[in-house]
Amino acid sequence: METEVIEKIVSIEKPHLEAPPDWQPVIMGILCNWCSYAGSDLTGTSRIQYPPNIRIIRIPCSSRVDPWFIIKSLQTTADGVLVSGCHPGDCHYISGNYYARRRFLVTKKLLNFVGYHEDRVQFSWVSAAEGQKFANVVAKVTEDIKKLGPLRLYKKENS
C-alpha cells in the first residue's frame, strides 16, 4: 500500500528542462575502502577508461553512508550519487553492506517522496577484482544522470 502511494506522487524534477550544450553532470561516488575503492583503483591500474564525471569519496564501509551524505550531495554539488560496496556476503566488516542495502532502500523511498528521480541515486556491488565492472557502472550512472539533466539549473530557476 505504502509504496503505491509514494509512486503516485509527482516528481518535482522537470525533465523538459533543457541543459546547456556544454553541461556535464557531477556524480558523487561514495565507495567502500575494501572492495569498491580497491576496484576503482584496479580500473585505473588496468587503464580502463570511463567518463570523467565522477568524484570519488573513500569511506571505510558502505554502512558508514549516512543518508545525509546523499541528500547533502544532491542539495549542493552533485547531480547524482553512486554508492558502492562489497558484494553481499563479502563485507570486510562482516555484515556492513547488508545494513547499507536496507538503509539505501529506505533512503531511495525518501528521495522519491521528496521528488528526486530515483535514478539520481544508485547502488552497486563492485569487488576489488572488478575493475571493468566499475567502469561499466560509472558509464551507466553517468548516462542515466545525463538523461535526467541538471539538478542545479532547476534550483536556480526556482530560487
Partner 1 sequence: MARVGVFVCFCGANIGDFVDVPAVVEEAKKIKEVKYAIDYKYVCSDPGQQMIRDAIVQQRLTSVVVAACSPRMHEKTFRKALSDAGMNPYLLEVANIREHSSWVHQKNKKAATGKSSDLIRMAVAKSIANEQLHEISVPVTKRALVIGGGIAGIQAALDIADARIPVVLVEKSPSIGGKMAQLDETFPTLDCSQCILTPKMVDVASHPFIELLPYSEVIELDGYVGNYKAKIKRKASYVNFDTCTGCGACWLKCPVKVPNEFNMGIDKRKAIYSPFPQAVPNKPVIDAEHCTMLIKGKCGICAKVCEKGSIDYTMQDEIVEREIGAVVVATGYDLWDPKPYEEYGVGRFKDIINSLEFERMVSANGPTGGVPVRPSDGKVPKNVVFIQCVGSRDEAKGIEYCSKICCMYTAKHTLLLHHKVQDSHAYVFYMDIRAAGKGYEEFVKRAQVETGATYLRGRASKIYKKGDKLMVQGEDAQIGQVVEVEADLVVLATAIYPYKDNPDLARLLGISYDKYGFLSEAHPKLRPVETAKAGIFLAGCTQAPKDIPDSVAQASATAAKVCGLFAGDTMKKDPMIAHVNNEFCTGCQNCVNVCPYQAIVTEEIPLGYGFKELRTVAKINEGVCQGCGSCVAICRSMAIDLAGFTDMQIINEIVAI
CA distance 27 to 33: 18
**Which residues bind to partner 1, rule: CB under 8 A?**
24, 26, 28, 33-34, 37-38, 40-41, 43-45, 47-50, 52, 55-61, 63-69, 72-73, 76-78, 89-96, 99, 103, 135
Place of cell 554508492: 83
Query: CA-CA distance, 22 to 20, in Å (whole number)?
Result: 6
Q: Which is nearer to partner 1, 9 or 105 (CB)?
A: 105
How far apart (Å, rounded) are the C-alpha atoms in residues 39 and 32? 10
Q: Are 8 and 37 in contact (CB under 8 A)?
A: no
CB of 144 to partner 1, least distance (A): 19
| Closest to partner 1 by CB, 11 or 76 | 76
Gyration radius (Cα) of the chain, Å: 16
Specify the residue, 15 or 44, whose C-beta has the smaller distance to partner 1: 44
CB of 10 to partner 1, least distance (A): 28
